Amino acid sequence: MATLKREVRRDLLAVRAAMADDEVAQAAEALAERALELPELAGADTVAAYVSVGREPGTLRLLNVLRERGVRVLLPVLLDDDDLDWAAYEGAGRLVESERGGRTRLLEPNGRRLGAAVVAEAAVVLLPGLAVDRRGTRMGRGGGSYDRVLARLAAARAEPALVALVYGHEVVDELPAEPHDRPVHAAVTPEGVHRFTSSRERPPE
């Protein structure tokens, strides 16, 4: 399973790497419009999100609009063990490059750390991913950071809307899945919103 996942990730990343700059920029604008139409976001006072990097679907405009609406936006801070702390988004000017993340230049808020457990206060959690399948299975980059976040939410019995942000071609029929993989409720692409009803049992909490 691990080998299969690595191969799928490699293929998905290759397609992203081939995208033109203007295609990525246009997709970011459209993605923000589609996401802002979500009723879950319309009523949310706290949203956990992330700053896109590289060829990921762009999130900066979405973060700015949410902040302008008065939403408390939580952004992740990568820890040494690949777990995530959180801090409030205070604007693009308050983002700094992470000292972690390897070759990927992650941007993080430089404000006060709020602790790993604060994510349970979010009404919506926006998740990065390389793809999502028709069951809601999300494929990440393999670091396991968001697997820990989702497990923490389950342990706290928090029930935020879990929404992955991906490109339209990254909503696929089926992805390799393991028992610990927790399905998302929806995926937003530049073209629209996909909602899922998973037939897989969630792992015990």
Asked if 152 and 119 count as a contact pair (C-beta separation under 8 A), the reply is yes
Is 203 a residue whose pLDDT tops 50? no
Q: Using alpha carbons, select from 143, 127, 148 the residue that is nearest to residue 85.
A: 148
DSSP assignments along 121-168, one per residue: G-SEEEEE-SEEETT--EE--SS-HHHHHHHHHHHTT--PEEEEE--G
Q: What pLDDT is recorded for position 190?
A: 96
Q: What pLDDT is recorded for position 27?
A: 96
Question: Helix, strand or coil for residue 172?
Answer: strand
Is 124 a residue whose pLDDT tops 70? yes
Q: Which of 48-57, 79-88, 92-101, 162-171 has the lowest mean pLDDT?
A: 92-101
Give 5 or 129, the one with higher predicted confidence. 129
Average pLDDT over residues 73-86: 95
Could you give the percent of the chain with pLDDT greater than 70? 94
Is 201 a residue whose pLDDT tops 70? no
CATH code of 2-195, in short, is 3.40.50.10420
Asked if 174 and 196 count as a contact pair (C-beta separation under 8 A), the reply is no
CB-based contacts of 140, cutoff 8 Å, min separation 6: 127, 128, 129, 130, 146, 147
Q: Where are the domains of the chain?
A: 2-195
Which of 102-111, 131-140, 174-183 has maximum average pLDDT? Answer: 131-140
Q: How confident is the model at residue 142 (pLDDT cuts 50, 70, 90)?
A: confident
Q: What pLDDT is recorded for position 143?
A: 84
Mean of the per-residue pLDDT values for the chain? 91
Q: How confident is the model at residue 199 (pLDDT cuts 50, 70, 90)?
A: very low
CB-based contacts of 144, cutoff 8 Å, min separation 6: 82
Asked if 156 and 126 count as a contact pair (C-beta separation under 8 A), the reply is no
